[in-house]
A and B are shown apart, each in its own frame.
Chain A
Amino acid sequence: MTADTGQLERNLGFLEAMTLGGGTMIGAGIFILPGLAAEGAGPASSVSFLIAGFVALLAALSLAELATGMPVAGGSYHYVNRALGGVFGSIVGWGMWTGLMFASAFYMIGFGQYIVGPLPFLDGRALIVLLGVLGLFLIVGINYYGTDESSGAQNVMIGVELIIVLVYVALGVFFVDPANLKEFAPTGPTGIVATTGTVFVTYLGFEIIATVAGEIERPGKLIPLTMVLSVVSVTLLYVVIMIVSTGVVPYQELGGSLVPVSDVASISMFGGIGVAAVTFAAAVAAISSSNSSILAASRVIFAMGRDSLMSERLNVTHDRFNTPHRAIITTGAVTGGLILLGLQVGEIVALLAQVASFSFLVTYALVHVAVVVFRGADPDEYDPEFKLPRLMYPTVPILGIVTAVVVVSQMRAPVIVVGFGVIVLGVVWYAVYARDRAFEEGVADEAVEGLLDELPDFLPGSTPTETAEETYTIVVPVANPETQHGLLRLAAASARAHADKESPELVAMNVIEAEETSRRNVESDRIDHQHALLENVHEITDGMDVDVRTRSLVEPEIGEAIVRVAGEEDADQVLTGWNGTLARDDYVFGKTLDTVLSEAPCDASLAEIRSDTVGRPVALAGPGPHSPKAAQRAVEFATVQETTPVLLNVQPPAPDGESDPVRRGHEAVAWVADRAGIDREEYEVKVVVDEDTESAILDAVDEFETICVGLSEKSDRSRILFGSIAERISQRETGNVVVVRGAEREGEVPDTPGETVARQDDA
């Protein structure tokens, strides 16, 4: 049985991603925004859409790079949090959540307006608000009980809606009166930019694709494709719609209308039939857009909870329906409150749209910053499939930030006040709630370091010797939480032993074994593992007085990944765990460990951790090319509890009394110690004389808590034999067993103590 951990399926294909992203974008906005836009900029509002579309396209490009680099739930929030740390994470998380709530309320008021519009006996703002709340109630209800992706109902609804919109455009073209377009930009450039701030709400649709990035098939391909495609096609559609709408109905009239598209349709689409069709499409659009917003909001809340920036209680899923019902109810309640504000505030629709735009403009600006930070820091886990091409980087992020700031600066005072209120909320939330809980640190610091490394000559005070300092690096693959502590402790001891010449450094790594398949979400596993790593490794090594870094990888072969990392880090040693048994098939220690032992370009140690303490280590100072390394490790490990290690040698009794076996043993140990560069006062010697070497070793090591054994490498056969001694030791012992292999140096023939040993001074 393979007893894998649970896999996460990627179920959303091209069509689903387009319905979520594009559907939301052409959704509600198309029916409400033409009125607001015409009021703000006349026929030139089509230019506003072009500008908004351009700003969105820049954001979509940056977001696509980040989303393919880290395709997991949470969208922009996750990337900003990873790049810039908890404060900005909190700002963007809250900004996205509230932005989605404002947008949802905006859609639902539009829903009310379109229902009330064609029915003459229904009238008044109270009714609009009431219908909006009822519609929202319906959506929250559906989401509470949960829906199934495979029904396809949403695809059909949005398909019908799209057809109605296209018919509207196609027929409308014939009714355009050029006289209506004569006064193209009545409010001038400032009006156009200000209107951009209103219509930008449309473009939070592609963000929804990013929030469900963890569920999209072939994320490397589909995420950039659907994001860019939806932004471009929706922008073109809106531009045409604005020209048609303001061409058919004069912008002054259109601007005053609550149901602008119905007004146009009553002229161009056969009167009543057109109005009915548009009303139907508007209702569908509002509901599907609002629905998508709620889906996206619960993903953001989940992602925040994952980083301890939000209470996990909000993320508990329903026992029976498996929906995040608390998050959905909370989102729905706040959205309902915003809709009810419509009773008091006259311009509620524009205000809701603009606040949502503000939040997402701020979010996208920070996304651009995040791209720059990730490029600068270049953490190992960041390997986006879609990368901004050379010509676009850093132009896209810089232009994106500048344009977002320009659009925000033209917004009305109350919007800016509310928008900044949300930012302050994020900061305060972080300071009061999250700071002590969240452990995620941004990679921004690394990015700054990266830049400093690149530009040492230009920066005063950074001396090249600092960066060029020698480090003794040990790569520690960690996987098992129970033995992690023991491994790191041994590694830290081993690294610190070199502190006089080189600065000690540990690289804790974890590999998720997976092929890069398109349908399975290994990214999410990666995040879970990474968090466990970050939390535990840093906790454990705190106070061990070594530099610690962590690396998290997804590779098909664990052993090869370890070897590769050891090479990249220019490691001096790899210290990995071992379960104490030998493989029964073609492998000696198992596929992974065999790869590490045979290919790692440095010392390699396999440690079976079974004791909480290191105690007094013993090394088998017998023949074999790696005995000196084993002795060296024993000396290093002894520093943990400041004991003196024992070097053990077993000799057979003298066959014909030619030389004293005890003396031979001492000579052999001295030879090993000399090869390892260990001074005489650093170890004690124990020599056992026995016929049966193996059982003598087993008896002698019984009292020790940590046993270091050099790997025998004379032939495949003896390797296996030797492995079996190590295995037998590990079966009998309760303590730790470390199998040691030194770095292979070319041209150095592994030799054994011979006659030359005699010249060792036995001080």
Chain B
Amino acid sequence: MARIIFPALLLLLFPRAAWALQTHGYQGLYFHQGAHLLFLAAMVAFAYRLRVSRLTVQTSWRWLFRGALLISLWNLWAFIGHLVALTLPQNALVTKPGETVPSLHVVSWVDVAYYFLSMDHLLSVPALVCFYLGLREMHRTFPQRDLLRERRRHERRRVDRRLV
């Protein structure tokens, strides 16, 4: 500890540039990748909670569980995709004369990986389909407002009778 504190105190005696405002080179990418990891961890935790609490025995929660797993995979997929994109050579994408859509110059497995990892909607769309199906099932089974009102009225009546 003394090895750290002592030089730190010495810095106060010999000040140099303030370094108060530091620039962040890859800040955007780091933040985005960090957000992907957080999203991934949250979805894995969500799926785990659903599994251990045995909510997955219900159809609606089972769909949400599948959705959470797929979105976790998508996060992993996208996270790796961003990393692979960083390693892609500058001249990998070429637009041939007369064509609007560019092509990928495939020379290594990195290029192949980039090509397939770019199609991340193949995971995110099924994940949202699962979420939609789960919510639709919940919507179907969630008590209607009239039923809720009737149930509350019934409970209130019962309490009143007890009080009498």
The finding on whether chains A and B are genuine partners in a shared complex, rather than unrelated, reads no
